[in-house]
Amino acid sequence: MKAYQPKTINVFVTLDQLVVPGYFNPHDPAPIYKRQLNHQFEQYIMANVALFKRYDVIFYKFKCANEIDKQYAEPIMYAIRRHFNELKEHKIRSFNKYKRRNIRMLIASTIIVMLFHILLPLVFTSDIGISSAVRNSFDVFSWVILWHPIDELVFNWNPHVAEINLLNKLATAELIIIENEKKATVSNNNALRVVA
């Protein structure tokens, strides 16, 4: 099996005095670093990391044209980290609730199955006729009642952990500031090149 090579995922954000207010909830009067992110901006970030794998690296690349725009980098990054940390904490709480609920359901199901298998032989003493049919139906009922909590605990926990990992990566991703990106022409075989 070929080993997975982690890739880099870049989330590009333009820092401009006219664009920055659109990144936040327009009805939030808090300072810029404590504001709630706009839903469209959050969806833009989540769309950029849609193909995220476990060991991929995420970078926020902020593009600014001048020093005035550069001053928005740290407050926006703080707001993004705060937002995804809150989402991660909420997801961890819901995952713990999910585990507790399924463990309780598994314990309750096991107790019900044990009671049926202890009390059933006391009620039906013969192995012929209806008692055999009732015992077989209780065996099927036992499998049915135990199947869901076992399935949830063994197979369905991975999407929760993957989402917590993604939110953690988004909250702790590094910031790279791209400054003064200019276009220039170079006369070499009449080719146009972009010089950063």
More confident residue, 129 or 39: 39
- The pTM for the full model equals 0.77
Is 169 part of any domain? yes
Task: Say whether pLDDT at 189 is over 70.
Answer: no
Q: Residue 38 sits in which domain range? A: 8-195
Closest C-alpha among 35, 6, 5, 8 to residue 23: 35
53-112 pLDDT, tens digit each: 888 999 999 998 888 888 889 999 999 999 999 999 999 999 999 999 999 999 998 898
**115 within domain boundaries:** yes
18 has pLDDT over 70? yes
Q: CA nearest 168: which of 40, 53, 81?
A: 81
Q: What is the CA radius of gyration of the chain?
A: 28
In a domain, 21, yes or no: yes
Residue 1 included in any domain: no
Instruction: Look at residue 122 in the predicted model and tell me its pLDDT.
Output: 77
Which pLDDT band holds residue 166 (cuts at 50, 70, 90)?
very high
Q: Determine phi and psi for 26, rounding to 5 degrees.
A: -70, -15
Give ∠ CA 121-122-126 in degrees, rounded to 5. 60
pLDDT at 195: 37
Q: Which residue has the tokens 């820092």?
A: 15
Give every CB contact of residue 20 below 8 A, 6+ residues apart in sequence. 32, 72, 76
Domain count, the chain: 1
pLDDT of residue 182: 54
